[in-house]
Structure 1
Amino acid sequence: MDFDEILHHVDDSGRFQICMIILLNILALASSPHDFLENFTAAIPAHHCSVNLDNSRSEISTDINLTTEALMKVSIPMGPNQKPEQCRRFRYTQWQFLDSNISTSNITELETEPCLDGWTYDHSVFTSTIVTEWDLVCDFQSFKYYAQATSLAGHLVAGPLSGIFSDRFGRKPLLMYCSLAYGVLGTFCAFAPNFSVYCVLRFLLSASTSTIMINSLILVLEEASAQWYTTIIVLSGLFSSIGQGALGGLAYVISDWHLLQLAYALPFFIIFILFCWVPESARWLIITGKTDQAWKELQRIASFSGKKDIAQNLTTEDLRSKLKEDVNSTGKHLRIKDIIINPMIRKIVIWNSSLIFAELFSFVGLLLDVQMLGKNIFLTQILLGVIDMPSKSLTYFTLRNVKRRPLIAFLLFTTGSCITINIFISEEMYVLRLIIFILGKGSFAAFTCVSTAYSNELSPVALRKRLMSKNISKKEGQDFLETTEC
């Protein structure tokens, strides 16, 4: 008898699994907006040089009370789009422009200078962003993208490390401590004193959320039967999309970046408490030789699902006898050498790494500059969340009837084509850009579900059994790669 049979005997489709799926979906709802937050917390509002009509900049001294419009007219040059320049001002106040008969356009000979006194921002949409707080505009605008790059680096670093620590120390401890870390670090990030501290905290937050999302899905899948896998993955994806769409509405209500960052950090303190109740993965415990603890966790699952008689009759001796082969193979750990020397495992690792790279690369190209897609950033963000839902719902059926590799290839091709086409479309044609973007986003959403399912089918537990035997034949490996069952 293998572990799946024992889990089915204890309960693999009952009350406990439903609660775990609900917890996973709550987590997806809270975690998914993390990378999209900077579309709002780092939004660039309309701005222009601050103007100060003192005697040092004025050619004549005046006590005239000027309107804001008149002050702008004599102090800020007009750009090619007939809007005030964002990064330059007149070196000397141009009083002649107060005369309505003199045009302010096509005057290139007037001397200008950078914004020496700072910037004035339009606070009608966002009362505060990191851009307005630390003046990340004009020559400093690239710093906004440094923050995004730092945040993505957190995901890249956390990916392999979280897998190592999760296999070494278990799913539950990592989920608990990372949830607590996200709550604490997110709170600190909301009150970051400077841009450097903000970037460091965003790096750590990305590492935490990446670890949470990966290990929470693994934990739920390891404690459910295979027939639930597709449902769990698609539901998690749907709630991630709901979280992304809800961010647009919440950002509209909370226009201050400090409060918005804090609003997404505080729920993780509650999630930390919930994870204190969650049992450790019994499958992982058995593989690592912790049979006594696995027996206790299986008893908890049976009791919670209302099968107290099974919980009382299940003993560690039964568990050891039924899983003798698995218990005898424990105590070993996956090493990098085991991956390198085995051609089929090496092929699997390279394939999965390629999928992760394609997913992250597409993510950057699609989602981290929503301001370029339309005039209403809030409505655009809501739309991007809503458009995922039919796409991911359709994935539920395609996962059951279509092979993984051709489906992944098609979705990647569609996503890449949409990104490429948008490069050559003018920003003024925002409706067409948004339509193509939505098509690409839908393909990308479906791709994330399919790649998650495919990666899970090549995931650590089943893979490790083959690794530890160090006796995988080429035929076995090819059959393993060709699997289409979730």
Structure 2
Amino acid sequence: MAFQDLLDQVRDLRRFQILQMVFLIMFSIIVYHHTRLENFTTFTPDHRCWVHILDNDTVPDNNSGTLSQDALLRISIPFDSNLRPEKCRRFVRPQWQFLHLNGTFPNTSEPDTEPCVDGCVYDQTSFPSTIVTKWDLVCESQSLNSVAKFLFMAGTMVGGSLYGHLSDRWLAESARWLIINNKPEQGLKELRKTAHGNGIKNAEDILTMEVLRSTMKQELEEAQKKYSLGELFHMPNICKRICILSFWR
């Protein structure tokens, strides 16, 4: 490639390029940690409604002081068909009669139940706190969990598209972009900057406008051609880069 010949003159893969890659990897690692962290911060643990008689430290009803936690749970939270406490419903009033049913439970769709108006109690065995437990993103608010994930991915997409385009000015390949987009003076300036960064003292004598135009003549002619999206998949180098980037992502 013609541009590769110019890179050879500025000493490709030396100090300037290595520093660029180091900074790129550093910032990429930070972004990927945020992406992976979402798997843990949005974890939804087991939960049930908060009930006064079970979860309040001061219980006004003296009769409940001698009851076990299981018994208090039975009279406070309706059970589903699998005999497990409902996650998003509770009884409006304690159902004392359930203490004498010997493990059998009535239909849970009774009108004397209500949503978790006072919040939820969460199982903290796996994680002491997540964004789900902090903001009660369960039951009626469960959809907000998906909204949070959507906003994160939408921000990633917009940021990647916008700042990815802007960041091309700081990559070594930006010199090529400037040259083929009819900005040879700026492209030459970037190449000379790279050469100086790699310790070449006489970069102005080696990299001149005449050298640039003669070296990039074929590539400049190719840049004038218009390609369709389908033609990209007939270019082996492009397909290879797409596969590598997709695997990396």
Please state which band the TM-score falls in when normalised by the shorter chain.
0.7 to 0.9
Tell me how far 1:108 sits from its aligned partner.
4.0
Provide the C-alpha distance between the structure 2 equivalents of 1:318 and 1:138, rounded to a whole number of angstroms.
66
Task: Give the C-alpha shift of residue 134 in structure 1.
Answer: 1.5
The residue identity in structure 2 corresponding to 1:69 is D
Post-superposition Cα deviations, 1:334-393, rounded to whole Å, max 9, x if no partner, equal 9xxx99xx4x245458x7xxxxxxxxxxxxxxxxxxxxxxxxxxxxxxxxxxxxxxxxxx
* Cα distance in structure 2, aligned partners of 1:18 and 1:164: 21
1:74 alignment counterpart: 75
Seen in structure 2, the aligned counterparts of structure 1 residues 14 and 73 have a Cα distance that, compared at 3 Å, is: same
**Equivalent of 1:319, from 185, 204, 208?**
208
Counterpart amino acid of residue 25 in structure 1 = I
C-alpha deviations, 1:67-100, integer Å up to 9, x for none?
A: 333221210111223321000112221223334x
Aligned to 1:292: 189
Give the residue type in structure 2 aligned to 1:448.
Answer: S
Give the equivalent residue in structure 1 for 2:120: 119
**C-alpha distance in 2 between matches for 1:26 and 1:164:** 19
- Alpha carbons 1:49, 1:88 under 8 Å: kept: yes
Q: In the alignment, which residue of structure 1 is the partner of 2:53?
A: 53
Tell me the distance in 2 between the aligned counterparts of 1:120 and 1:77: 15
**Kindly tell me: are residues 22 and 447 of structure 1, through their superposed partners in 2, closer, same or farther at Cα, counting changes over 3 Å?**
closer
d(CA) in 2 for partners of 1:312, 1:447: 36
TM-score after normalising by structure 2: 0.73
The root-mean-square deviation of aligned C-alpha atoms, in Å, is: 3.9
State the alpha-carbon separation in 1 of the partners of residues 177 and 87 from structure 2: 57
Q: Is 1:448 equivalent to 2:225 in the alignment?
A: no
**Residue pairs, 1:200-219, within 5 angstroms:** 219=171
Task: Output the amino acid matched with 1:298.
Answer: A
Structure 1 residue 48 displacement after superposition: 0.5
Q: Secondary structure at the match of 1:120?
A: strand
Judge conservation of contact 1:282–1:297 (CA < 8 Å) in 2.
no
Offset at 1:62? 3.4
Verify the 8 A CA contact 2:10 2:194 in the aligned structure 1.
no
How far apart in 1 are the matches of 2:51 and 2:176? 66
Distance 2:13 2:108 in 1: 74
TM-fit CA distance, 1:448:
1.3
Q: 1:164 to 1:87 in 2, by over 3 A?
A: same
Quick one: structure 1 residues 106 and 325, their matched pair in 2 at CA, closer, same or farther if it must change by over 3 Å? farther
Call closer, same or farther: CA 1:285–1:28 in 2, change over 3 Å.
Answer: same
Query: Measured at CA, do residues 81 and 25 of structure 1 come closer, stay the same or move farther in structure 2, by a change above 3 Å?
Result: farther
Aligned pair in 2 of structure 1 residues 285, 108: CA closer, same or farther (>3 Å)? closer
In structure 2, distance between residues paired with 1:316 and 1:81: 82
Question: Which segments of 5 or more consecutive residues in structure 2 lack a partner in the other structure?
Answer: 55-59, 218-222
Greater gyration radius: 2
Q: In the TM superposition, what whole-angstrom CA distance separates every residue of 1:3-52 from its partner, at most 9, and x where no partner exists?
A: 32132233223455444444433333322132332222121111101111
Cα drift, residue 143 of structure 1: 0.7
Matches within 5 A, 1:330-479: 342=226, 344-347=227-230, 404=239, 448-449=246-247
Q: Deviations over 1:285-311 (max 9, x none)?
A: 6553223353133211x22xxxxxxx1
Shift of 1:106: 4.5
Q: Whole-Å Cα distance in 1 between the matches of residues 37 and 11 of structure 2?
A: 39
Measure, in 1, the Cα distance between the counterparts of 2:191 and 2:18: 20
**Corresponding residue of 1:24:** 24
> 2:48·2:88 contact (CA, 8 Å) conserved in 1?
yes
- The structure-2 alpha-carbon separation of the partners of 1:21 and 1:166, relative to structure 1 and needing over 3 Å to count, comes to closer
- Residue aligning to 2:8: 8
* CA-to-aligned-CA distance 1:405-462 (integer Å, 9 cap, x gap): 9x97xxxxxxxxxxxxxxxxxxxxxxxxxxxxxxxxxxxxx78138x8xxxxxxxxxx
Amino acid at match of 1:312: K
Match of 2:136 in 1: 135
Distance 1:106 1:326, change over 3 A: farther
Task: Tell me the SS of whatever aligns to 1:296.
Answer: helix
Structure with greater contact order relative to length (CA < 8 Å, sep ≥ 6): 2
Q: Which amino acid in the other structure matches residue 247 of structure 2?
A: C
Q: Matched residue pairs, number?
A: 231
8 A Cα contact 1:90 1:112, kept in partner: yes
Which structure 2 residues correspond to residues 144-155 of structure 1 after superposition, within 5 A?
A: 144-155=145-156
